[in-house]
Amino acid sequence: MKSVNTIVIFLITFGYEVIYNDAPVLWQTGFQDPATPVMEGIINLHHDFIFFFILIFVFVLWILLRAIYFFNSRVNKVAINYSHGTLIELIWTIIPIMILMTIAVPSFALLYSIDEIINPAVTVKAVGHQWYWSYEYSDYIGENGEIINFDSYIIPEEDLEIGQFRLLEVDNRIIVPVNTHVRVIVTSADVIHSWAVPSLGVKCDGIPGRLNQISLFIKREGVYYGQCSELCGVNHGFIPIVVEAVPLDNYIDWIQKKLYA
Amino acid sequence: MSNLNSNLAIYNRHPFHLVDPSPWPFMASLSVLVFLFGLVSYLHGFKVGNFLFVFGLCILVLTSVVWWRDVIRESTYEGSHTVLVQLGLRYGIVLFIFSEVMLFISFFWAFFHSSLSPGVELGMIWPPQGISIFDPCQVPFLNTIILLLSGCTVTWAHHAIIHGNRNQGILALVFTILLALLFTGLQFYEYKIAPFCLSDGIYGSTFFITTGLHGLHVIVGTLFLLVCLVRLYNYQITAQHHFGFEAAAWYWHFVDVVWLFLFVSVYWWGGI
Amino acid sequence: MESLSTAPRDERFPHTNQTRNCWVRYVEWKLCEEKHGEEESECKKFGRWARALCPVDWIERWDEQRANGTFPGPSGESS
């Protein structure tokens, strides 16, 4: 077992094989691996911010600990009776403002780049229901007016096969092509839901009577897992989302099969 | 004998008003419970709700009347409202009006939420497809002028009271109350001829909830001013001590300002 | 099946909320059909875009409303 691990680590290290993590793992505290430029941007932004946060955390902790150590009744028998200092208060107000304004710049840049819609080639509609998602691929109509329209339900625990994720697998995945601009229109048929997939860096509320648009540009093939992210009733935790990204040819095959099967 | 007079302010060694035991806070909370329980039951179609709602409301109004009668007695006959107590009353009224402002903000929020991005069911336009609305330049504009004028007459009454001119104070307050009644009457007339209703869509719902809540406040403000008129007539309001009147005037100006926002946003902007 | 295409990005609706985009495409589609007939290629294009943006349920409901004369948007008779 140990030798297998060593080989895997060796292969990963030298780029022969990369295993991406597109679903949550036990006790996970970090991100899942990004599959879209948006998620890469989010992770980079997070790491940039953490740099500032660590600096601030260490600095504030150092000041607090020094204050506790040097200024107490044992060390200072005579209390110092001043309660404010204008200069220090100005400094500790203006410097945080400048830090916040500095980190706001990349934050807004990322935010607006996420909202940007590049002319999409595919539109997928995700409609939230109590409690399942249904998907519509209305770009394609068969010769007799067939449309692609299906529901996506969770696979119950007792039906899971070896290797499948508990509470994350669905019976009908949505299939999208890789390296293609995809528009997802999220809405709901009853209460507010939220369509979210961490690896793709998307989380979009589905609101009845309203259509929200997000864009996907998936850079690699894979199966991406997500969950409803807006409390929508008792089975809120049991309507997962599975996105399967495939090459364009396979996508077209799948569409053909769906339309004419 | 000294024992009997022990709670009179002149014997106190502090400026505060330590209130006596009273049944009214208990009665008020109980009647609010019955009122709310009845209202919710009524809205859910329970038969008993109708009765409980009106019953609770009646007890609440009666309790308010006797409680505030006691407050007037404590102030006028017992002299409990010292300068410091009056300051507390000022803070109380200001906070009360602030809470009312927040209440109105929540209903304005509902209005703007619905009107700034109207749903597809409305034809994505505001006012919704097929709804004919009031012309803001007719009765609503007249009502705006009436309320602004009543704001002027209440200020006239305030100046008259400060200068100890009781006759003019009474005259100005009577004018204010007449204008307020005129406003309520015109609103009532508009409600009667409204071509939409509370339950036929979001336009009617937001319109009647916002203007209805305002109308309720106009009625309460009118009663408040009426009490001040009676007290002025009975020589209870003086040039030095008239916070009851000032509170009524603040409240009236608040009602006035809410109307201006209602007129500009619901009637005028909402009709463009 | 045609090559991959869908309703293009519309400069009039740059926001996340695309409700009005769907609504306008549907109204354009139906007005076009009333004016030029269902076989006109421009109308078919509008129809494709409207179907791409609007949920199937919405289009069904609006078609029903148009048949009943209760559709809240513009239609050929009123304009």
* Structural domains of chain C in order of their starting residue, each with its CATH number: 19-71 (1.10.10.140)
> Per DSSP, which regions of chain B are E strands?
none
Q: What is the DSSP letter of B263?
A: I
Query: How far off is chain A from B118, nearest CA to CA, in Å?
Result: 10
Is B121 in contact with A210 (Cβ distance < 8 A)?
A: no
Choose among A141, A168, A173, A146: nearest CA to A157.
A168
Residues of C in contact with A117 (CB under 8 A): 9, 14
pLDDT confidence of residue A158: 92
Give the mutation candidate from C4, C5, C21 for the A interface (greatest A CB count, under 10 A). Answer: C4
Chain B hits for A209, CB-CB cut-off 8 Å, are: 119-121
What is the average per-residue pLDDT within A111-136?
92
CA distance C70 to chain B (A): 10
Say yes or no for a CB contact (<8 Å) between A210 and C17.
yes
- Contact list in A for residue B119 (CB cut-off 8 A) is 209-210
Q: What is the pLDDT of residues B238-254, one digit of tens each?
A: 999 999 999 999 999 99
Chains in contact with chain B (at least 3 beta-carbon pairs closer than 8 A): A, C
- Answer whether A119 sits within 8 Å of C9, measured CB to CB: yes
| Residue A113, min C-alpha distance to chain C (Å) | 12
In DSSP notation, B64-96 reads: HHHHHHHHHHHHHTT----HHHHHHHHHHHHHH
For residue B210, pLDDT beyond 70: yes
Mutate to test the interface with C, among A207, A213, A216, A254 (most CBs of C within 10 A): A213
Q: What is the ipTM of this complex?
A: 0.87
pLDDT at B153 over 90: yes
pLDDT per residue over A62-108, tens digit each? Answer: 999 998 888 888 887 887 778 888 999 999 999 999 999 999 999 99
Does B120 lie at the interface with A, CB-CB under 8 angstroms?
yes
Which residue from B124, B128, B130 is facing C23, i.e. has the nearest CB? B124
Single-letter amino acid, residue C61: R
| The predicted structure's pLDDT at residue A16 | 58
pTM of the complete model: 0.82
Asked if the model's pLDDT at residue A206 lies above 50, the reply is yes
What is the average pLDDT across A142-156?
A: 87
User: Mean pLDDT in chain A?
Assistant: 90
Task: Supply the pLDDT for residue C2.
Answer: 47
Q: Give per-residue pLDDT as tens, B99-109.
A: 999 999 999 99
Domain-wise residue ranges, chain A: 37-75+84-115, 122-260
Q: How far is B266 from chain C (nearest CA, A)?
A: 21
Q: How many residues are present in chain C?
A: 79
CA–CA separation, B171 and B160 (whole Å): 10
> Is residue A225 within 8 Å of residue A22, measured between CB atoms?
yes
Better-predicted residue by pLDDT, A116 or B157 = B157
Cβ-Cβ contacts under 8 Å, C20 against chain B: 124
* pLDDT greater than 80 at residue B22: yes
Mean pLDDT to the nearest integer, B187-213: 93
B210 closest CA partner among B138, B165, B269, B250: B269
Burial B172-182 (b: 16+ CB within 10 A, else e): bbbbbbebbbb
Q: Which residues of C touch B122 (CB under 8 A)?
A: 72
B124 vs C contacts (CB less than 8 Å):
19-20, 23, 73
The nearest CA of chain C is from the CA of B269 a distance in Å of 21
| Alpha carbons A182 and A200: distance in angstroms, whole number | 12
* Chains interfacing with A (3 or more CB pairs < 8 Å): B, C
CB contact under 8 A, C4 and A120: no
Residue pLDDT, tens place only, C1-55: 446 788 888 889 988 999 999 999 999 999 999 888 888 888 888 999 999 999 9
Which of B120, B122, B129 best tests the C interface by mutation, with the highest count of C CBs <10 A? B120
Do B120 and C17 count as a contact with CB atoms less than 8 A apart?
no
Give the single-character DSSP code of A170.
B
Helix H or strand E segment including A52: helix A37-70
**pLDDT category of residue A142 using cuts at 50, 70 and 90:** confident
Q: What is the DSSP string of C1-53?
A: -PPS--PPP-TT--SSB-HHHHHHHHHHHHHHHHHH-TT-HHHHHHHHHHHHH
- What is the band of B29 on the pLDDT scale with cuts at 50, 70, 90? very high
Instruction: Give chain A's length.
Output: 261
Fold topology of A122-260: Immunoglobulin-like (2.60.40)
Are A117 and C9 inside 8 Å of each other by CB? yes
**Domains, in order of start, for chain B:** 18-80 (1.10.287.70), 85-271 (1.20.120.80)
Cross-chain Cβ contact A211/C53 below 8 Å: yes
- Is it the case that residue B9 has pLDDT exceeding 50? no
Instruction: Convert the pLDDT of each residue in A156-189 to its tens digit.
Output: 999 999 889 999 999 999 999 999 999 999 999 9
Least CB–CB distance from C16: residue in A115, A180, A248: A115
Task: Give dist(CA C23, CA C74) in Å, integer.
Answer: 11
Name subunits touching C (3+ CB pairs < 8 A): A, B
Mutation pick from A113, A147, A185 vs chain C, by most beta carbons of C within 10 Å, is A185
- Region B11-40: what's the mean pLDDT? 92
Query: What does the alpha-carbon distance between residue B242 and residue B220 come to, in Å, rounded to a whole number?
Result: 19
Tell me the pLDDT of chain C averaged across its residues: 86
Give CA B196 to chain center in angstroms.
26
The torsion angles phi and psi of A123, rounded to 5 degrees, stand at -120, 130
pLDDT on residue C78: 46
What is the rounded distance in angstroms from the CA atom of residue B218 to the CA atom of residue B255? 6
Residues in chain A within 8 Å Cβ distance of C14: 117
Distance of CA A16 to the CA centre of its chain: 27
Question: What residues of B are in contact with residue C73 (Cβ under 8 Å)?
Answer: 123-124, 129
Q: Is B116 on the interface with A (CB under 8 A)?
A: no
The CA distances from residue B113 to A143, A233, B101, in Å, are 43, 24, 18
